[in-house]
Chains A and B, each alone.
Chain A
Amino acid sequence: TQLLEQSPQFLSIQEGENLTVYCNSSSVFSSLQWYRQEPGEGPVLLVTVVTGGEVKKLKRLTFQFGDARKDSSLHITAAQPGDTGLYLCAGVISNFGNEKLTFGTGTRLTIIP
């Protein structure tokens, strides 16, 4: 059972365009993280959002956590070729002091120069 669904699964756009990637679940998470993964490497954390409705910005990337803490979005403004990669969202569930991370299916983003 995949708790987190990401859309779109693949996205290819021209340099300079804007885009939004979505991460949706029926589960409530204590926090949600976004990662970027380059080919041949492990995922690298971009941001953690904790509070429902929270918005965080990382240069041209804007991350939002849904009010009910079940979903999140990643918006990229004026995309650049360096943004190309696999973007993964991950929901954190805390259980008796232990935390588990459940990853989404991923969005493979390609920015065309």
Chain B
Amino acid sequence: DAGITQSPRHKVTETGTPVTLRCHQTENHRYMYWYRQDPGHGLRLIHYSYGVKDTDKGEVSDGYSVSRSKTEDFLLTLESATSSQTSVYFCAGRGLNGNTIYFGEGSWLTVV
């Protein structure tokens, strides 16, 4: 058990609507990450956080925002969902001195 829980696990939404994916961790990880996984692209970093209220952009951040108001929770928001954002989203966490990244089980998002 990686101690990382994502919600919702599955969601279908309409184009243009805002969507928020939640990541909750119980391991006091300092670093947290949001990735998306698509065929042929592997896992691509969207945003990451290196502490409460400290976040930075990854390689595919356009159309996404994040917030981390407390250590345990890292939220990913799609401001106006598009079909290109249909994907599997993974949250991950890492401790301050650890090199192991622990992943959640993924959130399947379909934008129609």
What residues of chain A have their CB less than 8 Å away from a CB belonging to chain B? Answer: 2, 4, 6, 31, 33, 40-45, 48, 88, 90, 92, 98-106
Contacts and interface: CB of A to CB of B under 8 A. Distances in A.
A104 B42 contact: yes
B43 A100 contact: no
30 contacts: A2-B41, A31-B99, A40-B105, A40-B106, A41-B105, A41-B106, A42-B92, A42-B104, A42-B106, A43-B90, A43-B103, A44-B103, A45-B100, A48-B100, A88-B42, A88-B43, A90-B43, A92-B99, A99-B31, A99-B94, A100-B45, A100-B58, A101-B33, A102-B45, A102-B59, A103-B42, A103-B43, A104-B42, A105-B40, A105-B41
B27 interface: no
A45 B42 contact: no
**Which bucket holds chain B's interface residue count?**
20 to 34
Contacts of A100: 45, 48, 58
A2 B42 CA distance: 9
Interface in B40-60: 40-45, 48, 50, 56, 58-59
Nearest to A42: B103
Given A6-B42, A88-B43, A103-B42, 5 more contacts: A41-B105, A48-B99, A101-B101, A102-B59, A105-B42
Contacts of A88: 42-43
A22 B35 CA distance: 22
